[in-house]
Amino acid sequence: MKQTSSSLKDTISRIMKPESNVDTSQVKGNVSPEVKHALLSSLVQPSHALRSTGKPFRGFKAEFVSRMQLAEASVLSKAEEPEQLEGRTVFEVIVDEDMFNDFGTMHGGCLAMIIDICSSMPVYVLGASTSAYGVFGIQQSLNIVYHSPAVQGDKLRIVSTTLTLGSRACPGRCEVWNVTRHRLVASAVHTNMVPSKPKVSESAKL
């Protein structure tokens, strides 16, 4: 999953300038309203014109992201090592029929995409809260175990935490819980990478 330097700059620019109409009052957690604001703004997916047709387009990712609700954003002491901190985010989403596979349950690819989106959020939370500089990484690896199916109307709770926050690699965990049926839907271990700055060519220096 690669991201070009120009799109990365656009993303960071948009995160640093959150949407003014985003409401953080319903988001739990101990991080600042500014950090919560930035997370919610990252979910705003404006439409753009397709180069091929000129028609407005938001994409399938935007359709699912628009339904996700940020419930919590926190920085906490690790239970195993209280002197170490972890970023934690909790998102909620209702399963709908356009997320289905052929068997009428939530498609694993759809769930993987949601985990991919959510897993970068605690990386930003921890960085922005501890060093005043947060950045959304890009997924380097994602290992998912599917435990149980989810069907239409089920409410899912996606809990993501950081393991460590390195200069480049930021591993973490994610658990997807079915709030409606009180069972684990999926668990994941992932590694987000902070992209390196693009090298400046000799001609660009001149």
Q: What are the pLDDT digits (tens) for 30-87?
A: 999 999 998 988 887 666 667 777 777 667 777 778 889 999 999 999 988 999 999 9
Average per-residue pLDDT for the chain: 83
Q: Identify the pLDDT of residue 4.
A: 45
CA distances from 154 to 66, 111, 119 (A): 17, 13, 21
Interval 88-114 mean pLDDT: 95
Question: Does the pLDDT value for residue 186 go beyond 90?
Answer: yes
HEC string for 8-35 = HHHHHHHHHCCCCCCCCCCCECCCCHHH
Q: Are 89 and 39 in contact (CB under 8 A)?
A: yes
**Does residue 113 come out as left (phi exceeding 0), alpha (psi in the -120 to 50 range) or beta?**
alpha
CA distance 118 to 10: 19
pTM for the full predicted model: 0.79
Residue with tokens 């690819």, as numbered in its chain? 109
Domain boundaries, the chain: 5-44+57-196
Written as one letter, the residue type at 81 is E
- pLDDT band for 9, please (50, 70, 90 cuts): very low
Q: What are the pLDDT digits (tens) for 11-22?
A: 444 433 444 556
Alpha helices for 17-139 (secondary structure H) = 33-42, 59-65, 108-119, 121-130
H-run or E-run covering 72: strand 69-77
Structure-model confidence comparison of residues 147 and 198, the more confident one: 147
Q: Identify the pLDDT of residue 57.
A: 66
Q: Residue 178: exposed, middle, or buried by beta-carbon count in 10 A (0-12, 13-18, 19+)?
A: buried
Written as one letter, the residue type at 75 is V
User: Could you tell me the fold of the domain covering 5-44+57-196?
Assistant: Thiol Ester Dehydrase; Chain A (3.10.129)
Interval 190-205 mean pLDDT: 69
Q: Residue 78: exposed, middle, or buried by beta-carbon count in 10 A (0-12, 13-18, 19+)?
A: middle
